[in-house]
A and B are shown apart, each in its own frame.
Chain A
């Protein structure tokens, strides 16, 4: 057993296979990664968008087909303090059961080059081949700054390339560089940087390196300064913000309605076509009522989803989100949290799942857990269809001021309600079970950047696909299961009665109806009908299912001529009884604002906290709070005569 044939080549391959992309937060790593791999990972103009490592293959057009790129979360140094930074360092050191990467691309923002070079020194100290990508070269030039990558390359002894990631400039050169052999060895100057032990030494080294090159530091970004003076002004800034938000919520009602009506007509037409074209069997009705009308009732909200994400992505990409964190940080301080918690909460407005993952940037475990526990209160896009349906049905479209109506203001109020609940719960948790000092908070405020419309469009397209995929998977699955529960057990057809009357009898005696009635004691105080109860149970899987459920029930009752909202409020010409009083509808809205009704969120909480304890706790306290608040709303609204 002494001699084994060596199968592996003794000489290492000339071009190593895996290359890590390392850089400070918001230095443009993900944009670069996307440009090199052809991926479309989410990038944004604020720090901390990437919280996990991500891998992708270098596009073949650059000349090599065996280069794997690893996009890392942004780090300020290789001595990690938060979980996302730990991920970055572990990848570089060869964690996660994978070998250490074979080389590192250090991404340095050319406009703040002095702050980026110390990380290069730390990367060089790892002993791996390094090269440098100077991003935002266009912005540097626009601000009359100057740096010659060739000169820097001379000084450092490793390749330095200027790139503009989002415009693709310099990407070909970088692609060609990493396609060739990575035999980069640094100059004595770089070695001196690698030997530096303290941050002071590394910054002094960075200054020395830059001093050896002809370099013109960029002027302050005038536009950013001017906009900040305006947008961060206590009075003007708040007024601009509130007007913008109110306008946005109003737009969801007024602008998106035509597109929504169009989709709605499309779905109804499709369901009718199916009913006419196919023989009247259970399968036909499953397809028409369960699938097309059920899932369709959710899909019609696509225009609103698109609008919501257009605004969110624009605000992220232009640099305003980081300002929002800056403005609100004081409030977060009162609550006992730091600004990074706010960033995580902000992403939860799209969906709590990435929001909870974004808590990995929070160094303090207590702050992180608190943020995870309250993030599901943020008004995620899954709540939007339910809100829109109920508001359109029960809140008058009367104008309040200028273009703003009660409907738009109610929607805005619900968003504020979710935010308030998140902050108050966080304050309670931080004072109670998760007491602990806050860690220092520093936030880099990027310059304002005009996002490219195509970037926004691609991002919105991704979100729209996600929404449709959700409709086609979880919502479809629940709708189909629900259809069976609404149609079983079968009963003999009574020839004396019409088809619709027979269907109603089946519905009234169905398993779903029994379950809904079983829950009546729980929701009777809010005057919820068994149909609502069925919806509430079904929407535990995903909130939008509420809309799908109601659509199915009405379809089965033979009422599919009028809009769902009209039927709910009983305002239609058919004179059908309303399903909800206005007080009950308000209670239902509040219930949805607070309740934990999302399997994916519970699953991600379990993953991030490592057990069922915290998801169970979140489920219990949020639903408890939802019930109490809904009941209180019902009592108050009834007293007020709603």
Chain B
């Protein structure tokens, strides 16, 4: 399995990714986990907003928008790679 870690902010295609961890221990990090960005969850990049930021991701059946600064906190690796 390809274990090279990167953040979800680097994703630019629709491949399925798996969340490795959400960095940080503050309230922001907890909130990201509460809305479903937990370790082990599959996530998929959908598209960027026309001005380049934020980006839309598919997570647990919902579409969510994250700014690059938040997406940087979400470390991912390719699912099943």
A and B held together in a complex: yes
Q: Which residues of A contact B (CB under 8 A)?
A: 76-77, 79, 81, 111-115, 118, 198-200, 203-204, 217-218, 220, 224-225, 228-229, 232-234, 237-238, 325-327, 329-331, 333, 338-339, 439-447
**Which residues of B lie under 8 Å from residue A218 when comparing CB positions?**
61
Instruction: Check if A444 sits within 8 Å of B50, measured CB to CB.
Output: no
CB distance from B6 to the nearest CB of A (A): 19
Cβ 8 A contact of A200, one of B38, B60, B63: B38
CB distance from B45 to the nearest CB of A (A): 13
Cβ 8 A contact of B33, one of A115, A199, A325: A199
With A115-B62, A199-B30, A217-B61 as given contacts, are A329 and B53 in contact (CB-CB < 8 Å)?
yes
Interface size of B in residues (CB-CB distance below 8 Å): 34
With A79-B34, A232-B47 as given contacts, are A330 and B63 in contact (CB-CB < 8 Å)?
no
Q: Which residues of B contact A (CB under 8 A)?
A: 27-28, 30-36, 38-41, 46-47, 49-54, 56, 58-67, 69-70
Instruction: Check if B67 sits within 8 Å of A326, measured CB to CB.
Output: no
Instruction: Check if B35 sits within 8 Å of A76, measured CB to CB.
Output: yes
**Which residues of B lie under 8 Å from residue A229 when comparing CB positions?**
47
**Which residues of B lie under 8 Å from residue A329 when comparing CB positions?**
49, 53-54, 65, 67
Q: Tell me, in angstroms, the Cα distance from A520 to B32 when the chains sit together.
A: 57
Cβ 8 A contact of B63, one of A77, A217, A327, A445: A445
Instruction: Check if A444 sits within 8 Å of B62, measured CB to CB.
Output: yes
With A199-B34, A329-B65 as given contacts, are A115 and B47 in contact (CB-CB < 8 Å)?
no
Cβ 8 A contact of B53, one of A200, A234, A330, A446: A330
With A442-B70, A443-B65 as given contacts, are A327 and B51 in contact (CB-CB < 8 Å)?
yes
With A199-B33, A199-B38 as given contacts, are A114 and B50 in contact (CB-CB < 8 Å)?
no
Instruction: Check if A228 sits within 8 Å of B69, measured CB to CB.
Output: no
Cβ 8 A contact of B64, one of A220, A234, A338, A445: A445
Q: Tell me, in angstroms, the Cα distance from A237 to B64 when the chains sit together.
A: 19
Instruction: Check if A233 sits within 8 Å of B34, measured CB to CB.
Output: no
Instruction: Check if A339 sits within 8 Å of B61, measured CB to CB.
Output: no
**Chain A residue nearest to B44 in the complex (CB):** A220
Q: Tell me, in angstroms, the Cα distance from A399 to B14 when the chains sit together.
A: 46
With A327-B50, A339-B65 as given contacts, are A200 and B33 in contact (CB-CB < 8 Å)?
yes
Interface centre among A234, A237, A238, A326 (most CB of B within 10 A): A326
Instruction: Check if B35 sits within 8 Å of A234, measured CB to CB.
Output: no
Instruction: Check if B64 sits within 8 Å of A440, measured CB to CB.
Output: no
With A440-B32, A440-B70, A443-B65 as given contacts, are A115 and B60 in contact (CB-CB < 8 Å)?
yes
**Which residues of A lie under 8 Å from residue B61 when comparing CB positions?**
111-115, 217-218
Q: Nearest 7 pairs between A and B by C-beta? A: A330-B51, A234-B50, A199-B33, A445-B63, A443-B65, A77-B34, A440-B70
Q: Tell me, in angstroms, the Cα distance from A446 to B53 when the chains sit together.
A: 19
Instruction: Check if B67 sits within 8 Å of A333, measured CB to CB.
Output: yes
Instruction: Check if B51 sits within 8 Å of A440, measured CB to CB.
Output: no
Instruction: Check if A233 sits within 8 Å of B50, measured CB to CB.
Output: yes
**Chain A residue nearest to B39 in the complex (CB):** A200
With A114-B61, A445-B65 as given contacts, are A76 and B53 in contact (CB-CB < 8 Å)?
no
**Chain A residue nearest to B53 in the complex (CB):** A330
Q: Tell me, in angstroms, the Cα distance from A220 to B56 when the chains sit together.
A: 14
**A204-B40, A333-B53, A443-B64 are known contacts; what are 18 more A-B pairs with Cβ within 8 Å?**
A76-B31, A115-B35, A115-B36, A115-B61, A200-B33, A200-B38, A203-B36, A220-B58, A228-B46, A232-B47, A232-B50, A232-B56, A329-B49, A338-B67, A442-B35, A444-B64, A445-B56, A445-B64
**Chain A residue nearest to B62 in the complex (CB):** A112
**Which residues of B lie under 8 Å from residue A327 when comparing CB positions?**
49-51
Q: Tell me, in angstroms, the Cα distance from A445 to B64 when the chains sit together.
A: 6
**Which residues of B lie under 8 Å from residue A325 when comparing CB positions?**
65
CB distance from A147 to the nearest CB of B (A): 12
**Which residues of B lie under 8 Å from residue A440 when comparing CB positions?**
28, 31-32, 66-67, 69-70
**Which residues of B lie under 8 Å from residue A228 when comparing CB positions?**
46-47, 56
**Which residues of A lie under 8 Å from residue B28 when comparing CB positions?**
439-440
Interchain residue pairs with CB less than 8 A apart (28) = A76-B34, A76-B35, A77-B31, A111-B61, A112-B62, A114-B36, A115-B35, A118-B34, A198-B33, A199-B33, A203-B41, A228-B46, A228-B47, A234-B50, A326-B54, A326-B56, A327-B50, A329-B65, A440-B67, A440-B69, A441-B54, A441-B67, A442-B32, A442-B70, A444-B62, A444-B65, A445-B63, A446-B63
With A112-B60, A440-B67 as given contacts, are A330 and B34 in contact (CB-CB < 8 Å)?
no
CB distance from A550 to the nearest CB of B (A): 42
Instruction: Check if B38 sits within 8 Å of A232, measured CB to CB.
Output: no
**Which residues of B lie under 8 Å from residue A233 when comparing CB positions?**
50
**Which residues of A lie under 8 Å from residue B36 when comparing CB positions?**
114-115, 203
Instruction: Check if A203 sits within 8 Å of B70, measured CB to CB.
Output: no
Q: Tell me, in angstroms, the Cα distance from A198 to B54 when the chains sit together.
A: 27
CB distance from B27 to the nearest CB of A (A): 6
CB distance from A424 to the nearest CB of B (A): 18
**Which residues of B lie under 8 Å from residue A446 when comparing CB positions?**
63
**Which residues of A lie under 8 Å from residue B30 when comparing CB positions?**
79, 199
CB distance from A512 to the nearest CB of B (A): 50
**Which residues of A lie under 8 Å from residue B33 when comparing CB positions?**
198-200
**Chain B residue nearest to A113 in the complex (CB):** B61
Q: Tell me, in angstroms, the Cα distance from A573 to B47 when the chains sit together.
A: 59
CB distance from A122 to the nearest CB of B (A): 9
